[in-house]
Amino acid sequence: MSVLTPLLLRGLTGSARRLLVPRAQVHSMPPEQKLGVLELAIGFTSCMVTFLVPAGWILSHLESYKKRG
């Protein structure tokens, strides 16, 4: 690393600090309709399947992965 590297980096990041980033105006209101039991069950089931099926697949095939590596 040369002696000028910190000065160059400071020069690059200094202009980025002065940029104004607009903030989003997000306002939330209560839901118009409450979710039903079936909708909640479908949502939770799909989330659990999304996370657990790939993990189960990897764990069930762990021995074959060990043999390859």
Report the pLDDT averaged over residues 33-51: 96
**Cβ density class 30-61: b for 16+ within 10 Å, e for less:** eeeeeeeeeeeeeeeeeeeeeeeeeeeeeeee
* Single-letter amino acid code for the residue at 58: I
pTM: 0.48
User: Domain ranges in the chain?
Assistant: 35-68
Which of the four pLDDT bands, split at 50, 70 and 90, describes residue 18? low
Residue 20, pLDDT > 90, answer no
